[in-house]
Amino acid sequence: MPYHKFKCSECIPEREKHAVVKGPGEDLTSCLPLGYKNTIPGTISERGCAYCGAKHVIGAPMKDVIHMSHGPVGCTYDTWQTKRYISDNDNFQLKYTYATDVKEKHIVFGAEKMLKQNIIEAFKAFPNIKRMSLYQTCATALIGDDINAIAQEVMDEMPEVDIFVCNSPGFAGPSQSGGHHKINLAWLDQKVGTFEPKITSKYVINYVGDYNIQGDSEVMADYFKRMGIQVLSTFTGNGSYDDLRGMHLAHLNVLECARSAEYICNELKVRYGIPRLDIEGFGFKPLGESLMKVGMFFGLEKEAQAIIDEETARWKPELDWYAKRLKGIKVCLWPGGSKLWHWAHVIHEEMGLDVVSVYTKFGHQGDMEKGVARCQEGALAIDDPNELEGIEAMKTLKPDVIFTGVRPGEVAKKLRVQYLNAHAYHNGPYKGFEGWVRFARDIYNAVYSPIHQLSGLDISKDEIATDIGFSTRQMISDVNISKDEATPIEERPYTGDYDSVTKLRGKTYPNAPGQLVDVV
């Protein structure tokens, strides 16, 4: 068996079966690490809890909702603004967070009365918001507060409001994935079928499993609209509470992140007969194939192909420019959930990156199976890693950059390993054709950052820190530009602002950025 034992975890022998190295010709039955198990006592896990998976990942992106947590304020604070779930209503759900702020006295005497008071006060503070999601936490679940009954009391007294109750305390599952499951089914049981949104097209979908990180959902929704498809609801990025109550009227569920939202898709098929179609929004080839699959379902192949051709012609030259300069760069793909397998193959195939490790903090065996199958031979696959294992892996594998979250990312910085935020992005969105180029640009800027190069110099030993250790050269695009077009690319200053590059795009050269500094 190709199990990998970390030296730092020798005192926890069970950890050995949670990490494997993918060998040549390895079949999945012998190289899958154990996944979705309870965290082993003694290891410092990076996992989130089930409450985090329900409130932070699934619930909070809903835009026109007061998200109220019934528990200590720390639970709420930990799940506030750590992802960039933007919305088109001035980011209401990002600006405010709500907690009943349970104290020790409430654990003794109960907190139901305070909960009701908090709910009413929140609605009065925001009179234009008539919807609320109410989340249970460990503390109030353990003392038995009946949040369903309190929510119903408020709705009886205030008939203009509607409250969704999510009973997913932190201990409701081995990881945040347990919370995904809880909120998926709770939403379906409580709210789906209770509202009839307006149907404006012959082709209607729910876009499921996307959370509009820096605008991801809007990018994909734009493609669907250009095909003539109505996006009835987005579960839950930039999603409207009432639109999501009408999910039962869609003709197709288009699923992006299977780990977080396949549960509601499967149940919608059972209860309402709505089929499920899995797609991928990352990478030119996977995205093109996904748009075509949706097009084929509705008989809109021509419309899908027109988008693919237009976007590819516009953005592929830029992607190729970056790919030439990223070939052979070593990366650790440590994103947490579905990006493990959404990215494992395509960043190698389309950007030339070498994936030396993959991991998941809360994925199931299915995630590991797809991720390991897609990544390169020799990659180290890890389930539920702790901080010391991550440090040991970076020291052993010596990656140029890791794609992960803020906490392990900050640890990587101390080891002088660049990181990109795989959860909330650095400069997203990363979905879509343009987004994939934006991702490549962020990787390029991370790897070739002059500041990063300078950080490795020891000013107590190096004679002149600014002159020792690196050199720069101008990288000029080799695109041919006709005389009658605007200022040639090589004469344009590169500001580092991707939007400025986009505005400079011409009709016949949707190509590479202009002057870039490559540090060697």
pLDDT digits (tens, 9 = 90+) for 420-476: 999 899 999 999 999 999 999 999 999 999 888 888 777 777 655 454 444 444 333
Q: Spell out the residues 6+ positions from residue 151 whose beta carbon is closer than 8 angstroms to its own.
A: 119, 132, 134, 163, 165
Please state which of the ranges 203-217, 278-292, 416-430, 502-516 shows the lowest mean pLDDT.
502-516
List the single range of 175-179, 212-216, 238-242, 364-368 with lowest mean pLDDT: 364-368
The closest alpha carbon to 144, from 136, 135, 153, 152, belongs to 136
- Taking 3-state DSSP, the helix, strand and coil percentages for the chain, each rounded to the nearest 5, stand at 45, 15, 40
Interatomic CA distance for residues 346 and 364, integer angstroms: 21
Spatial distance between the Cα atoms of 181 and 352, rounded to a whole number of angstroms: 36
Binned at pLDDT 50, 70 and 90, residue 251 comes out as: very high
In 3D space, the residue among 155, 250, 236, 246 whose CA is nearest the CA of residue 195 turns out to be: 246
For CATH 3.40.50.1980, list the domain ranges present in the chain: 50-190, 204-309
In the chain, the percentage of residues whose pLDDT exceeds 90 is 73
Q: Tokens in use for 277? A: 């179609």
Give 193-218 pLDDT, tens digit per residue. Answer: 999 999 999 999 999 999 999 999 99
* pLDDT attached to residue 462: 64
For 361-480, list the strands marked E by DSSP: 380-383, 401-404, 418-421, 472-475
Rounded Cα–Cα distance for residues 193 and 205 (Å): 15
Name the residue among 51, 48, 84 with its Cα closest to residue 183.
51
Of the candidate CATH numbers 3.40.630.40, 3.40.50.1980, 3.30.2090.10, 3.40.50.1820, the domain formed by 50-190 belongs to 3.40.50.1980
Which residues lie across from 255 on neighbouring strands? 208, 278
3-state secondary structure of 422: coil
Reading across the β-sheet that carries 230-236, which strands appear in turn? 230-236, 204-210, 252-255, 276-278
Sign of CA dihedral 303, 304, 307, 310: negative
Q: What is the pLDDT of residues 145-197, one digit of tens each?
A: 999 999 999 999 999 999 999 999 999 999 999 999 999 999 999 999 999 99
Crossing angle of the two packed helices 216-226 and 301-326, in degrees rounded to 10: 140
What would the pLDDT profile of 11-65 be if each residue is shown by its tens digit? 999 999 999 999 888 777 777 898 888 888 878 788 889 999 999 999 999 999 9
User: What is the C-alpha separation between 434 and 428, in angstroms, rounded?
Assistant: 10
Q: Which CATH class is domain 204-309?
A: alpha beta
Give me the pLDDT at residue 463, please: 59
